[in-house]
Amino acid sequence: GENVEQHPSTLSVQEGDSAVIKCTYSDSASNYFPWYKQELGKRPQLIIDIRSNVGEKKDQRIAVTLNKTAKHFSLHITETQPEDSAVYFCAARGLGQNFVFGPGTRLSVLP
């Protein structure tokens, strides 16, 4: 079955700097890759997603890139702000419609 790895597990950046989180997946049939942000004690919220027929997608300060050949995708956050501090999860969905999540990255944006 699908296996999703995520790095780093923790990331600290200064406010205004960029943050990059990387995920790899194992099932070449996976075709949808969402990213979720989870603040402490709250439910995961979708922040951006990408489908396998697209290489890059951007939404304001957030972007996601996908390399299907290498089976990895990355989240890029530019001009980070303290409110970006949270745990971020990547996920991959295969043909079976089931989602497999990465273990998460705890991002801390230092003021």
Partner 1 sequence: GAGVSQSPSNKVTEKGKDVELRCDPISGHTALYWYRQSLGQGLEFLIYFQGNSAPDKSGLPSDRFSAERTGGSVSTLTIQRTQQEDSAVYLCASSLVAGGKNEQYFGPGTRLTVT
Token output for 49 = 């997603």
The minimum distance between CB 16 and partner 1, in angstroms, equals: 28
Residue type, 52: S
The minimum distance between CB 12 and partner 1, in angstroms, equals: 17
DSSP 8-state code for residue 43: -
Alpha-carbon span 7 to 23, nearest angstrom: 6
Token output for 57 = 């997608």
The minimum distance between CB 26 and partner 1, in angstroms, equals: 15
Residues within the interface to partner 1 (CB under 8 A): 1, 32, 34, 42-46, 49, 51, 89, 93, 96-104
**Residue 19 or 23 with smaller CB distance to partner 1:** 23
